[in-house]
Amino acid sequence: MSDATPTNEQSQPAEQPLEPAPTPAPAQAAEPSKQQTFDADYVAKIRAEAAKYRTEAKANAEAAKRLAEIEESNKTEAQKQAEQLDKLRQENERLQSQMLKAQVAADKGVPAELLSGTTEDELVASAERLLAFRGQQAAPEYGRSADASPTKPKQLTRADMSRMTTEQIVKADEAGLFDDLKAGRL
């Protein structure tokens, strides 16, 4: 296309862009502020309604405060009970552990304070390690001295003899209670 040939666009007059319409100014800015006047009955009615809402709001606030206090006291009581329950559970666990230690210690013949562990298996294993460490020993015979034999009666000393009457000395000698003293072993 050559520049010399007219086109339809060139033959029509150019359209003028439309100017944007002015934005309307806010009504308040256009007019000076006017204060409306209301009759006394209407104002009294509005004031009474506002007062009613204020008293209701105060009552609601007081009720909400009382409700919060009640909920807090209930919550506190529940928390106290939960804490007490936790303490009782811990005490129960501690006592059960002590009882289990005492049972294992009695069964194995070892002191309970030397056992370590919380379960029965752990306590038994601990007792067996202690027994292996010290070696198997016969359980002590309570009520008799280590050097006294079951067939030999307890021997008396010179101090024992000095506190006895003549008859008691004769009976003790017949029972063999002065054998070690006569042999010079005491």
Task: Report the Cα–Cα distance between both ends of the chain, in Å, rounded.
Answer: 150
Contact, 155 vs 181, CB < 8 A? yes
Is residue 67 scored above 60 in pLDDT?
yes
More confident residue, 70 or 32: 70
Contact, 99 vs 116, CB < 8 A? no
- What integer pLDDT is reported at residue 31 of this predicted model? 55
Could you tell me the pLDDT band of residue 26, with boundaries at 50, 70 and 90?
A: low
Could you tell me the pLDDT band of residue 57, with boundaries at 50, 70 and 90?
A: very high
Q: Is 52 helix (H, G, I), strand (E, B) or coil?
A: helix
More confident residue, 90 or 118: 90
Instruction: Give the domain ranges of the chain.
Output: 153-186
pLDDT in tens, 96-128: 999 999 999 999 888 999 999 889 999 999 999
DSSP 97: H
pLDDT in tens, 138-184: 665 655 555 555 567 788 888 888 888 999 999 988 888 888 888 87
Contact, 153 vs 172, CB < 8 A? no
Is residue 30 scored above 60 in pLDDT?
no
